[in-house]
Amino acid sequence: MVQTNTPDLAAIRRRLLAWFRKHKRDLPWRRTEDPYRIWISEIMLQQTRVAAVLPYYARFLARFPDVQALARAAEQDLLAAWAGLGYYSRARNLQKAAKNIVERGEFPRDHASLGELPGVGEYTAAAVASIAFGLPHAVLDGNVARVLSRLAPELGDTKSDAVRKRLRAFAEVLLDRKRPGEFNQALMELGATVCLPKRPQCQRCPVRSHCEARKQGLENQLPVRGARPSADQREKKLLVIEKAGKVLFWQRSAESSRLAKFWELPEPQQLPAALVTDCAGAFRHTIVNTTYFVEVCRATVRSRPRGFRWLAKSCLGDVPVSTTARKALALDAQSRRSGVP
Ligand code: SF4
């Protein structure tokens, strides 16, 4: 590991910040100092790519421009605004936290009180505290852990507690305490755009002369990660049953362990009397460790079955519809446009 107080640390900070100022992506959450907007961006970016977050971020803030608006939002509106981003507990926790903030009367301004908000863990508390309030807390997400494990180099399994502890200590000692928010973002940006998981772009890296992994030819071997659990594979079929501009859906209960209150397309076993007319195609959809091969078929029913509702296609943006249902409807629309089958 790089040692505390070596000249390398100051040089790494300086080079990284200079590079960030020149090369950072222009992202909407980097144009604001509003802690509410920074907090929303950090929650949306958890396990989600920047490109996927961008349209949701703009729409979400147009709908819920401040913490008060989020606190009083109807759950259906909130889930509809989040539909497609996945990990829906994030949206529910956001609203719980917003209510909590409204009750307190002000946005929490330090790491400990940020960490008390529902859905805010160590990483998010450090990110918001440093970016919105300039407090010296180092972030350690997947991107940062990868960069640090290569700079060091750290040869242990990054999933182990001992290695996480070492990387955290390195992140704290490397942090630029005068500009913690900018420095944290610079390190994350380097991991997201240059120090990539596969084939890091070392020739473009501002800290390459300090990187031990590169010096030792280990950049493609690090970080070391324990074996991932293999993905489970399943097949399912969804029915698109359409009538006069409306589609047949069912709604998950409030107690459902997954996607509570989301609207879903029916599966054939739920509607044995449905008559399948043709199939639009198939797609793959992965949820955590399970990959579904989803076949999308069109069908008809004589009348609306109990427990099902017709939802107008034009209103589907206003209700929480699951991602698999959205993908199935998009595939159906695409195959109709291209005249297949
Ligand atoms: Fe990552 Fe390469 Fe830069 Fe090292 S030199 S930090 S491996 S991009």
For residue 235, the model assigns a pLDDT of 87
For residue 339, the model assigns a pLDDT of 60
Model confidence at 335: pLDDT above 90: no
For the whole model, what pTM was predicted? 0.78
Tokens of 329: 């409807």
What average pLDDT does the segment 43-63 reach?
94
Q: What is the pLDDT of residues 148-160, one digit of tens each?
A: 999 999 998 988 8
Cα 213 to ligand 1 centre (Å): 7
Cα 208 to ligand 1 centre (Å): 6
Rounded to whole angstroms, the Cα distance separating 182 from 94 reads: 24
Residue 131 sits in the same domain as residue 245: no
Residue 200 sits in the same domain as residue 323: no
User: Taking Cα atoms as reference points, which of 296, 137, 294, 153 lies closest to residue 220?
Assistant: 153
Domains held by the chain: number: 2
For residue 5, the model assigns a pLDDT of 41
Residue 50 sits in the same domain as residue 168: yes
Rounded to whole angstroms, the Cα distance separating 295 from 137 reads: 47
> Do you know the residue count of the chain?
341
Number of neighbours of residue 185 by Cβ within 10 angstroms: 21
Residues in the ligand 1 pocket, defined by CB under 6 Å: 147, 150-151, 194-195, 200-202, 205, 207-208, 211, 213-214, 219
Cα 201 to ligand 1 centre (Å): 7
Model confidence at 3: pLDDT above 60: no
Residue 278 sits in the same domain as residue 315: yes
Write the CATH number for 277: 3.90.79.10
DSSP per-residue letters across 262-298: -EE---GGG-TT-EEEEEEEEEEEEETTEEEEEEEEE
Tokens of 325: 């249902």
Q: What is the pLDDT of residues 183-212, one digit of tens each?
A: 999 999 999 999 999 999 999 999 999 999
Kindly give the number of the ligand 1 atom that is closest to the alpha carbon of 201. 8
For residue 230, the model assigns a pLDDT of 64
Per the prediction, the chain carries an average pLDDT of 92
Domain enclosing residue 74, as ranges: 9-215
DSSP per-residue letters across 11-45: HHHHHHHHHHHHH----GGGS---HHHHHHHHHHH
Model confidence at 96: pLDDT above 90: yes
Residue 330 sits in the same domain as residue 274: yes
Amino acid code (one letter) for 64: F
Active site residues: 42
Residue 61 sits in the same domain as residue 158: yes
